[in-house]
């Protein structure tokens, strides 16, 4: 990897990290309204609902799981996969009695996969 490409990647990571810290300073999950946080890699997309006061993950879902991957087809990291993950995390949250959450986009732009995940969660009844 040449030096220009490496610098570009490091700038991107630093920019996302700053945005993540900025969002995290404003968004705090509580017992009444836990935090729905998103992480996306090149291959998969993950979502979890966290109670920051107790430091516990209450619910999680990802495109890595077999029951989620069943209807996805080829890729587990596209918008369709993100929507299914959002629906799955919402179903699991509603089973545990969680209806209201705070959305944490983790420094990602609210567009594409992140928006699809949020829309999928809203479709199943999660409110944020």
Count of C-beta atoms within a 10 Å radius of residue 122 = 15
What's phi and psi for 85, nearest 5 deg? -65, -40
Rounded Cα gap, residues 18 and 111, in angstroms: 18
Residue 36: is its pLDDT beyond 80?
A: yes
- Domain-embedded: residue 45: yes
- Above 90 in pLDDT, residue 6? no
> Is 68 part of a structural domain of the chain?
yes
Helices of type H across 1-128: 3-26, 66-69, 79-95, 113-123
Domain count, the chain: 1
Report if residue 128 sits inside a domain.
no
Is 42 inside any structural domain? Answer: yes
pLDDT digits (tens, 9 = 90+) for 51-85: 988 989 999 999 999 888 876 777 788 899 999 99
| Confidence at residue 68, expressed as pLDDT on a 0 to 100 scale | 81
CATH of the domain at 25: 3.30.420.100
Residue 40, domain extent: 3-123
Give Cα separations from 3 to 7, 13, 16 (angstroms).
6, 15, 20
Q: What is the DSSP string of 51-83?
A: ETTTTEEEEEEETTSHHHHTTT-S-SSSHHHHH
Task: List, for residues 91-123, the tens digit of each pLDDT value.
Answer: 999 999 999 999 999 889 999 999 999 999 999
pLDDT on residue 22: 84
The verdict on residue 101 lying in a domain is yes
């Amino acid at each position: 990897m040449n030096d220009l490409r490496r610098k570009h990647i490091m700038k991107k990571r630093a920019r996302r990290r700053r945005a993540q810290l900025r969002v995290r300073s404003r968004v705090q999950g509580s017992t009444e309204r836990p935090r729905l946080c998103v992480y996306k890699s090149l291959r998969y997309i993950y979502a979890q609902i966290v109670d920051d006061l107790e430091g516990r993950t209450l619910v999680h879902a990802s495109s890595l799981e077999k029951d989620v991957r069943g209807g996805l087809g080829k890729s587990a990291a596209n918008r369709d996969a993100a929507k299914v993950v959002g629906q799955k995390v919402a179903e699991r949250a509603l089973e545990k009695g969680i209806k209201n959450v705070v959305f944490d986009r983790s420094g990602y732009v609210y567009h594409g996969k992140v928006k699809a995940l949020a829309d999928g969660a809203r479709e199943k009844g999660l409110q944020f």
